[in-house]
Amino acid sequence: MYKSGALSFSTENHSFMFYSDKDMDGVKDDDMEIMQFTGQKDVNNTDVFQRDIVQMDSKKYIIVWDNNRGGWSYTDVERQMTMTSFGRYEANTCEVIGNEFEHPDLLNP
């Protein structure tokens, strides 16, 4: 994961810059996924991002954007459960344990 710099999008093209101490030669836009910050922090004061996997009450959930609510929600990692709003209370009771890109094994129940 890398912090991004300025993002610029249009209907014809888009561009973005990010800061990294690693060699990024050969990395294409299709190789990247932009994850948005939810504005919340977990019990360890860790930023919670879209598609992070969190643990609450000994269960694993994934953070998603809910278009129907117009806000952040969480659902079980199998995405079988109805989405539940993710706000300050939920953030303060969860712990980020990874994300689906760097730790896809966490998506197993």
C-alpha 41/C-alpha 2 separation (Å) is 18
| pLDDT tens-digit readout, 24-77 | 677 666 666 777 889 999 999 999 999 999 999 899 999 999 998 899 999 998
Q: Where are the domains of the chain?
A: 34-109
Are the CB atoms for 80 and 64 separated by under 8 Å?
no
Contact 50, 66 (CB under 8 A): no
Specify the CATH architecture of the domain 34-109.
Roll (2.30)
Task: Using pLDDT thresholds of 50, 70 and 90, give the confidence band for residue 107.
Answer: confident
How confident is the model over 101-108, as a mean pLDDT? 86
